[in-house]
Each structure stands twice: as structure tokens, then as C-alpha cells.
Amino acid sequence: MLTIIPAIDLIDGKCVRLSKGDYDQKTVYNEDPLEVAKAFQDHGLQRLHLVDLDGAKENHVVNWRMLEKIALKTDLIIDFGGGIKTDEDVEVVFNSGANMATIGSIAVKDKTLFFSWFEKYGPDKIILGADVNEKKIAVAGWLEKTDIELFEFLEEYLSRGVKHVLCTDISKDGMLEGTSIELYEELLQKFPDTGLIASGGITHMDELYALDQINVAGAIIGKAIYERKITLKDLLEFTTRK
């Protein structure tokens, strides 16, 4: 069954959303991310995708204190991404209470370092972040495009034991125009055993049912919750359905 993973994106310790990853298109939704996280938990959600947008820009983890606060004050299973570039960054993320770390840029730029973390922490603690635009990988908080093809990139990592992949279609993210179901379907046809987490553009409940139908493991929802296109009550009904 599809796992619902609400997202909190952090800038200056506040809950924000960007459009297409553009730092100039920022909306602050709540001054207190812990309040948001508690609301997710109160509506039966068990996971949280916490993104350090300051960290992604600054190339080191910045918002670890907010991670620590949410981990201490909720029971949410947290995956944390953004700015994880060194051994110290990974350590601070796990020491601050994250259950998983999402690693994107380093997977592209320093495979040796990525796999050292993968071997140290194991396949259930490390999520491969694959941010894409027109099936090409992007890095550094989406500020930097590459010529690396998505499927070639995934083939190498999955063949070496990676189990969890968070794939975000940047062109869809924060736009409330629907998600890339065809891309995820194609990905799962090619790599059927992947624990795929879909991210970017999810706007309506019917998309969650569609993603569930094609065996996507998890779906990250951000702006649709904050703009009330999808309510927490809707998500509670989805997760408790028979």
C-alpha cells in the first residue's frame, strides 16, 4: 500500500514551499514547523519528509535543530535531506533524530562517499535522491543541471543494492498541476523491485490512488496540503481504508 509522506521544507527555521525549486518563489506557510508536524501525526500520518533548503544552498546541514525538535516531540519516522555533503553532516542528521537520510547531490558528484555511507548505515537508512528535469538529473537544490540520464543513473545504484529512491520531477514541483505518473510507471516497469517514492506536483486524491495502482511505495505531498487541495482528513481516510 502507498505510504503518504507529508513534506516540510525549511528556510530560516520556517515551513515554506518553493515553486520549481526557485528560491525567489517562496511562500512561508507556518512559522513553527513543529506545529505542522504534530498536525500530521494527529491525523494518523507516520512519516515526514524534512528538507533543509538552507542546507541545500549552503552545502552543509543548517536546520538540524528543527529536525531534533520534531524528532523529540513527535513519533514521526523522519527522512531528512538537503545539504548532506560530509561525514559530519550525515552524523548530525542521524544524531538529531532522523531515521533516514536522502542523498542526492553527493550520489552524483562523489559515488565513493555515497557508498561509504550506504555501507556504514545500510540500505534502509539511505534514500537515493533522484531529482529530474526532462529525465536529466539535477543537483545542489536543483540549482545545477546535469546531462546524466535518469534511468542510467538508477541502474548503477540499484545494481549495487540501493533499495529506496526518491524521484522528484522538478518541472512539476510546487506547481499544483499534477504529478508525473507516466514517468513513475516507466521507472517501475524498468526497475520493478524499487522502493519508489514519488515527489512533485501531487495535487488531487485521485493521483494517490493512481500511484497506489502502479505500486509506488510512497508519495510526498507538500503544497497540496498547505493550499488545502488535499486535506489531512482526506489523507486519514486514505491511510485507514480497507
Q: What is the pLDDT of residues 27-78, one digit of tens each?
A: 889 999 999 999 999 999 999 999 999 998 899 999 999 999 999 999 999 9
The set of residues, in sequence order, having a beta carbon less than 8 Å from that of 122 and lying 6+ positions away, is none
Q: What is the pLDDT of residues 87-143, one digit of tens each?
A: 999 999 999 999 999 999 899 999 999 999 999 999 999 999 998 988 889 875 455
Among 52, 54, 89, 131, the one annotated catalytic: 131
Asked if 234 is an active-site residue, the reply is no
Q: CB 151: neighbour CB atoms within 10 A?
A: 12
Asked if 24 is an active-site residue, the reply is no
Domain boundaries, the chain: 3-239
Cα–Cα distances (Å) from 105 to 57, 60, 179, 197, in that order, read 11, 12, 22, 17
Q: How sure is the predictor about 165, in pLDDT bands with cuts at 50, 70 and 90?
A: very high
The pTM assigned to this predicted structure is 0.93
Q: What CA–CA distance (Å, rounded) separates 70 from 13?
A: 12
170 alpha carbon, distance to own chain's centre: 12
Judged against a pLDDT cut of 90, whether residue 151 lies above it is answered with yes
Among 9, 89, 169, 234, the one annotated catalytic: 9
Decide which of 3.60.21.10, 3.20.20.70, 3.10.420.10, 3.40.630.10 is the CATH code for 3-239. 3.20.20.70
